[in-house]
Amino acid sequence: MKKLINPLLMHVLFIMALPIYSQEFYQGISIATPSGSTAISNKGLMAAYNFETYTVDGLLKDFSSFNNHGKFNTNYSVQGNIGKARRFLKHEDIIVLPDNSSLNLTGPITFASKLRITKAGLHQHIFACTNMFVLWLTADNKYRFADTRGQGLLTDVSIEAVKNGDWHSVIAVLSAGKGIELNENNIRIFIDGKQVKGTFTKTWQPTKLPPKNACVIGGELNGHEHHQKLQFEGIIDEMQIFARAFTEDEIRVYSSK
């Protein structure tokens, strides 16, 4: 007669055989692993938004540990890349983040988001932390990732992905720090996982965040007076900001979801 295996022992063996995932294992964002799940590594995570979850006070919830919850005047919720997303049509649609030193990032930095541009041919800011870092589109549909004071990366050609109105993964990665000369290896922009060629200006020279309304989603409230009036026309979903540079594997994983 065969000896029966203790059911409790079988259960323990099954659990031990399961793959072990931790918050150091970045799985990207998907329906199965949405913002707020352990798929988002806490390593260097400064802010994370799914644009459909809110705090009890009615603020846009930040899934990082820094409580960078966003304040807004309008809530134009639409279908997103995953679940719901936020559409921006005019400057009043901006989301203002709290004045928090956690976003006083001099580098390295990773900005990752799912974007759908609904109106091309505009000078429009996707995200800005004035005097520190900004990602915007020029009027000729080029991406600009800069320290908001002139130094940064400008894509060489007009990005066709901006014009077609579809969802795209956009990742800006800075692996340099303050005072470092910029090149194609330490400041990069990826569209759908593919690095876009660009030109580089001088060295990365962030200074200090303004005391009020420094970091804004979908616009800017400081810096050049003209920039403070620009609107962003598009849809943003699953945005993340890290105080570290994504690895090649992380860029691939985020872009493939």
The CATH number of the domain holding residue 83 is: 2.60.120.200
Measured CA to CA, the distance from residue 208 to residue 107 in angstroms comes to: 13
* Residue (of 210, 216, 214) closest to 93 by Cα position: 216
Report the number of distinct structural domains present in the chain: 1
Is the pLDDT reported for residue 191 higher than 70? Answer: yes
In the predicted model, what is the mean pLDDT of the chain?
Answer: 87
Tell me, yes or no, whether 158 lies in a domain.
yes
Give yes or no for a contact between 174 and 147, defined as CB atoms under 8 angstroms apart: no
Average pLDDT over residues 39-57: 91
pTM to 2 decimals? Answer: 0.87
Instruction: At 160, list the tokens.
Output: 């066709």
Q: Is residue 34 part of a domain?
A: no
Calculate what percentage of the chain has a pLDDT beyond 90: 68
pLDDT band at 14 (very low <50, low <70, confident <90, very high): very low
Considering the domain boundaries, does residue 18 fall inside one? Answer: no
Radius of gyration of the chain (CA): 20
Alpha helices in the chain (DSSP H): 7-17, 160-163, 248-256
- Whether 30 is covered by a domain: the verdict is no
Range of the domain at 89: 44-256
Domain membership flag for residue 24: no
Q: What's the residue count for the chain?
A: 257
Which among 192, 189, 78 has a CA at the least distance from the CA of 137?
189
